Copies of this chain bind each other. A is one copy, B any other.
Amino acid sequence: MATFMDVHHGMVGITEDELRQAHEADVAIQAEEGVTFVNAWADPATGTVYCLSEAPSADAVQHVHQRTGHPADEIHEVPLQV
């Protein structure tokens, strides 16, 4: 498994409910792709959302996000953490 930070752009004005619903939709199917979404942070002003996950691959992360209707714009493996 590896740690990934994926980034969504274009979610200007995202609300707390919308963020929670999107996260819960991902969590509902994540096991099918071997992914575990750990945290998500959102900046409604610029529409930027960051999702931290543990997954076998970046593709697996994107598969979950695609299936729930909000594909990531960037997916970074982040092997280093402090």
Smallest beta-carbon distance A49→chain B, Å: 8
Residue A82, interface by CB 8 Å: yes
With contacts A41-B52, A50-B50, A52-B41 known, is A80 near B14, CB below 8 A?
yes
Return the contact of A79 from the options B3, B44, B79 (Cβ within 8 A): B44
Query: What chain B residues lie within 8 Å of A23 (beta carbons)?
Result: 82
Q: Does A48 belong to the interface (CB within 8 Å)?
A: yes
Interface size on A, residues (CB 8 A): 26
Q: Which residues of B contact A5 (CB under 8 A)?
A: 41, 43, 50
Closest CB in chain B relative to A19 CB, distance in Å: 5
With known contacts A3-B41, A39-B81, A76–B52 Cβ distance under 8 A? no
Which A residues between 19 and 71 are near B, CB-CB below 8 angstroms? Answer: 19-20, 23, 39-46, 48, 50, 52
